[in-house]
Amino acid sequence: MSYPKLVERFAEIYRLDHAITFLSWDQMVMMPEHGNDARSSSIAELAGIRHRMLTAPEVSDWFGESDVQGVNDAATQISLREMRRVWQQATCLPEALVVAKIKAGSTCEHGWRTQRANNDWSGFLKNFLPVVQLAREEATLRQQAATDEKGLNTPYEALLDLHCSGDSQSLIDSVFANLRAELPTLLQNVRDHQSSRNTPVISGEFPITKQKALCEQLMKVLGFDFAGGRLDESMHPFSTGVAGDLRITTRFRTDEFLEALNATAHEVGHASYQGGLPADLEGLPVGDYRNMCIHESQSLLFEKQIFLSRHFMQYFTDVVHQHLPGATAYDASALWSAATHVEPGFIRVEADEVCYPLHVLLRYEIESALINGKIEAQAIPDLWNQKMNDYLGLSTEGNYTNGCLQDIHWTDGAFGYFPSYTVGAVNGAQIFKALCDDNPQWQAKLGSGDLGFVREWLENKIWSRGCQLTSQELMQHATGSTTNTDAYLAHLNARYLEESH
Amino acid sequence: MSYPKLVERFAEIYRLDHAITFLSWDQMVMMPEHGNDARSSSIAELAGIRHRMLTAPEVSDWFGESDVQGVNDAATQISLREMRRVWQQATCLPEALVVAKIKAGSTCEHGWRTQRANNDWSGFLKNFLPVVQLAREEATLRQQAATDEKGLNTPYEALLDLHCSGDSQSLIDSVFANLRAELPTLLQNVRDHQSSRNTPVISGEFPITKQKALCEQLMKVLGFDFAGGRLDESMHPFSTGVAGDLRITTRFRTDEFLEALNATAHEVGHASYQGGLPADLEGLPVGDYRNMCIHESQSLLFEKQIFLSRHFMQYFTDVVHQHLPGATAYDASALWSAATHVEPGFIRVEADEVCYPLHVLLRYEIESALINGKIEAQAIPDLWNQKMNDYLGLSTEGNYTNGCLQDIHWTDGAFGYFPSYTVGAVNGAQIFKALCDDNPQWQAKLGSGDLGFVREWLENKIWSRGCQLTSQELMQHATGSTTNTDAYLAHLNARYLEESH
């Protein structure tokens, strides 16, 4: 009789998460500046209540009773597996470590905001060393606490499990090994190839109200339902919310419009996954999204596979021209060339589709070695410089601001997140290939803005599955094989060297 | 040692209330339509947690210990008095009654939405009778549970205490007795007086973006700080939020702009009170607003005493002309005449300043008699018609839609709220008179848009007092006497018969 109690407790937690989700959205999108202290206190209060609900002694008893009494049907077993994963992740760290981690992370992140601007690596390192030490302790404890029969093979894999659950370090290693072998040469070939073409630079004056209407039209074409969601503006584009109330944001520049459209397409992918999760499992861990490698596959499928395709751009250019009279100078070919221009740079978040995975590869290699104790934090700047040279042909020697100090992730100990960006891109290409194989008319449909087949296929194969399958079961089921770089490398070759799509 | 525990518990409740406040704001202002079920569930979850926090057995113990151990300083005694009031209001009803009340109210309100449109009194009455019965039970229990040394003199006063705490039924009776004696004649005189003047009807096309900028300018003139708040649009204007994050809304029509401005001024009054509450008592009941009669006094002071004054309109007309080119046909005198036009009508929320209190008087007389068992619900339509005839010269015989079915308040048992609208207007006039007596240059200052003196005086006399004084102590302290109709009737006579301000 204890499984229903677990269901009710997780439903309560889900309703609290709803509150935290929308209070956080408001904080980033609507809240005036003086509201921050009260808002942070309120969210912290809710997070504390949530933690106590999840880690209360009776929850442990209920899990025990579920074991003892036996739950025979497979669906309930799987639901319990996912409940246990969430619960175990919440309970396996001693409170003293959690507090020390928050404190060290907060100090490091706070200092980083000025140290980054001041190119101050040694100042940063002083705060960063305790963050690394605590992350290693966390990783070891999480590894020891793992209840999955396969276990976790390295401390780093225990941190990966928080974001990329189900994707082992060995799988991710093999993905990145292929990218390390292929991408630097591919990048050089793409640059040679593009040097002979005429790539326009978008310029002009594009009013934000008109760009917003254009982005909303893109959302409609991509299948977003405004009765169940909205678009707003924020400093950094993001997606959040629940089915029926999906909130995405984008960012506008008045001298350019591709950035806002790219971000919109990306966030529609995230929102579509969130909105397509199984309604009958809402409120249960098994009804949640699978992991960030799958979540990112959906955003990148909408952004890179659809929006950046020649076929869709052919269709959408007319829509652009209808909304932005100042954009009529750019035909579909010019827009596509501008949107797919490749050029190495220092900054990950500004990188194009070919360079981006190399930025992630570099971070993955460094953070996995760091957490598994194979290197120390002092070695990071030299490693960064060496890998930037090897992968992107750029030196960051002495340039910490645009090198190893550029990202916020590590400052508060969020190791194991970076890989999801690129495993997501790889998954996205693999999923899109399977989708197209099932829909031979896909090019004509993208070319006419008819995306119903995309949503229908993804809803069936990915969105509605929630966490019922593990990530690799899901990939196998949807695409016929587990995550591998074949479709991704074929996509990059085709788009950037053959220019056929 | 138990007072600090009460302080911490009320601080936790305050942080939960913050969450409920902003989730509700979002629900009314931002949320897409399909988000409602999940949002309502989340807010209900938080309300349940809040209720359990407030009514937990240890809270009762802490109040007991506070009694036993003695708390000597006056400030703590007053803080405890307000804590106890909140706690007692939350604990004095048996759960079965609360559940029955919510259920009956929900059924009645739901049916009312169509019954009102269909003029269906008898259908409504069937659902309304249990609401009345439960409200009477509630009132009796609340009366019995009252811990204040003065007690509560009637069942109705126990419901009044939820909204107009500290303002007794006898005080409110005496206020309304004066209004009953004076206003019908005043109304007739005003109509005679206005029949000879030329009152323009505002017409034109006033774009919402321009009206919004105009309303924001009005807010700035009234002292609203946009670093600590924002203006949005909603179906019904309202104000909510906390100091540092004050959210007000208004409503726009494209053919008229005075309605949006009036509502904006009104909500700025509410927000200013909320934002001026004592920062050092934030999170304690004693730091909260006093009651709705005081809250409404602040909104009506900003709307009726300031915005609708001839002096301020003289200043603000230039601002209107700057923002709305289509409004230049109306000079200050024309705008003032349009904004102060008096004409009886059926609908309370559309009523002007002279007719509005007569609508409230009618409701007060009916609901107080109903809750105190002097009439039954069946008598309401006839009473409504008779009083509409007596007070406003209009018949509602057979017209339930625009008669006794027009308001939502009674449908879910919210008796005792209506009086705060008019006691608020009376308080507002009385407070404004005291403010002006202390600032002899007030007319010149309003005429130049210089409102610093208003905010300074109100902050000192009203806002910063929180709940440290009872409502009538507060009125006595701020104005030299308890609530009475002298200033209010003088104000109506001066504005509507002398036209000097």
Least confident interval from B62-66, B85-89, B386-390: B62-66
Tell which of B121, B136, B153 closes a domain.
B153
pLDDT tens digits, one per residue of B155-210: 999 999 999 999 999 999 999 999 999 999 999 999 999 998 888 999 999 999 99
**A165 part of a folded domain:** no
Same domain, B371 and B327: yes
Residues A50, A225: Cα–Cα separation, whole Å: 31
Q: Is residue B356 a contact partner of residue B188, using CB atoms and an 8 Å limit? A: no
What's the confidence (pLDDT) of residue A329?
94
Nearest to B245 among A19, A35, A226 (CB): A35
Residues A22, A232: Cα–Cα separation, whole Å: 13
Residues A91, B450: Cα–Cα separation, whole Å: 58
C-alpha distance from A248 to closest chain B C-alpha (Å): 12
Residues B156, B367: Cα–Cα separation, whole Å: 8
Closest A-chain CA to B49: A49
Residue A1 touches partner B, C-beta closer than 8 Å: no
What's the confidence (pLDDT) of residue A501?
43
Percent of chain A with pLDDT over 70: 98
What's the confidence (pLDDT) of residue A151?
80
Same domain, B122 and B190: no
Structure tokens at B121: 């009194």
Nearest to B33 among A30, A32, A227 (CB): A227
CA-CA-CA-CA dihedral for A339, A340, A342, A346, to nearest 10: 50
**A465 part of a folded domain:** yes
A256: which DSSP letter? B
Structure tokens at B356: 């509005």
Q: Could you list the residue range(s) of the whole structural domain that residue B126 is in?
A: 3-153
Here the contacts of B471-480 (C-beta below 8 Å, separation 24 or greater) are B471/B164, B471/B165, B471/B166, B471/B167, B471/B290, B471/B291, B471/B293, B471/B294, B472/B166, B472/B167, B472/B171, B474/B290, B474/B294, B475/B427, B475/B430, B475/B431, B478/B431, B478/B434, B479/B430, B479/B431, B479/B433, B479/B434, B480/B434
pLDDT tens digits, one per residue of B240-261: 999 999 999 999 999 999 999 9
DSSP B471-487: HHHHHHHHHSS-S-SHH
Tokens 């549970």 correspond to B145
Task: Quote the ipTM score.
Answer: 0.93
The H or E element spanning position A336 is helix A332-339
Closest residue by Cα to residue A354 from A328, A393, A384, A327: A393
Residues A340, A193: Cα–Cα separation, whole Å: 12
**A128 part of a folded domain:** no
Same domain, B145 and B174: no
Closest residue by Cα to residue A359 from A488, A172, A176: A176
Same domain, B133 and B169: no
Residues A201, A199: Cα–Cα separation, whole Å: 7
A154: which DSSP letter? S
pLDDT tens digits, one per residue of B259-298: 999 999 999 999 999 999 999 999 999 999 999 999 999 9
HSE value, Cβ hemisphere, 13 Å, CA-based, for A79: 21
What's the confidence (pLDDT) of residue B148?
67
How many angstroms separate the Cα of A413 from the Cα of each of A105, A193, A356, A382, B26?
Answer: 6, 40, 22, 21, 32
C-alpha distance from B327 to closest chain A C-alpha (Å): 25
Chain A residues 30-89 with a CB less than 8 Å from chain B: 30-35, 37-39, 41-46, 49
B220 has pLDDT over 80 = yes
Tell which of B153, B170, B189 closes a domain.
B153
B285: which DSSP letter? G
Closest residue by Cα to residue B391 from B174, B169, B188, B178: B188
B301: which DSSP letter? I
Residues A100, A88: Cα–Cα separation, whole Å: 20
Interface A-B, measured as beta-carbon pairs within 8 A, has a size of 105
Q: Is residue B475 a contact partner of residue B461, using CB atoms and an 8 Å limit? A: no
B501 has pLDDT over 60 = no
Q: For residue B16, list chain A residues with Cβ-Cβ distance below 8 A.
A: 42, 45-46
Q: How many residues does chain B have?
A: 501
Nearest to A227 among B34, B225, B244 (CB): B34
Is B35 in contact with A245 (Cβ distance < 8 A)? yes
Is A42 in contact with B226 (Cβ distance < 8 A)? no
Same domain, B159 and B45: no
Nearest 5°: CA angle at A434, between A432 and A440? 95
Same domain, B139 and B158: no
pLDDT tens digits, one per residue of A65-77: 877 666 778 999 9
Tokens 């909204």 correspond to B163
Q: Is residue A249 a contact partner of residue A30, using CB atoms and an 8 Å limit? A: no
Residues A499, A495: Cα–Cα separation, whole Å: 5
Q: For residue A43, list chain B residues with Cβ-Cβ distance below 8 A.
A: 19
C-alpha distance from A128 to closest chain B C-alpha (Å): 32
pLDDT tens digits, one per residue of A192-221: 999 988 889 999 999 999 999 999 999 999
**A157 part of a folded domain:** no
**A375 part of a folded domain:** no
CA-CA-CA-CA dihedral for A44, A46, A47, A49, to nearest 10: 120
Same domain, B162 and B142: no
- DSSP H helices, B277-327, are 292-300, 310-323
Neighbours of B130 (CB within 10 A): 17
What's the confidence (pLDDT) of residue A69?
64
Residue B209 touches partner A, C-beta closer than 8 Å: no
Q: Which residues of chain A have pLDDT under 50?
A: 500-501
Same domain, B269 and B386: yes
Closest residue by Cα to residue A237 from A205, A266, A275: A266
Residues B242, A35: Cα–Cα separation, whole Å: 8
Q: DSSP 3-state assignment of A223?
A: coil
DSSP B182-236: HHHHHHHHHHHHHHTS--PPP-S---HHHHHHHHHHHHHHTT--GGGEEEEE-SS
Is B228 in contact with A31 (Cβ distance < 8 A)? no
Same domain, B90 and B180: no
Same domain, B160 and B256: yes
**A133 part of a folded domain:** no
Same domain, B8 and B77: yes
Same domain, B216 and B298: yes
Tokens 């902050």 correspond to B459
What's the confidence (pLDDT) of residue B151?
80
CATH number reported for the structural domain that contains residue B289 in this entry: 1.10.1370.30
What's the confidence (pLDDT) of residue B71?
72
Pairing of strands A245-250, A239-242: antiparallel
Q: Which one of B42, B50, B248 would you mutate to disrupt binding with A, by most A Cβ within 10 Å of its Cβ?
A: B42
**A68 part of a folded domain:** no
Say how many domains are in chain B.
2
Mean pLDDT in residue range B6-20:
97
Closest residue by Cα to residue B330 from B266, B257, B260: B257
How many angstroms separate the Cα of A89 from the Cα of each of A160, A162, A438?
Answer: 12, 8, 38
C-alpha distance from B9 to closest chain A C-alpha (Å): 12
- DSSP H helices, A118-203, are 121-145, 155-163, 169-195
C-alpha distance from B40 to closest chain A C-alpha (Å): 10
Tell which of B110, B137, B153 closes a domain.
B153
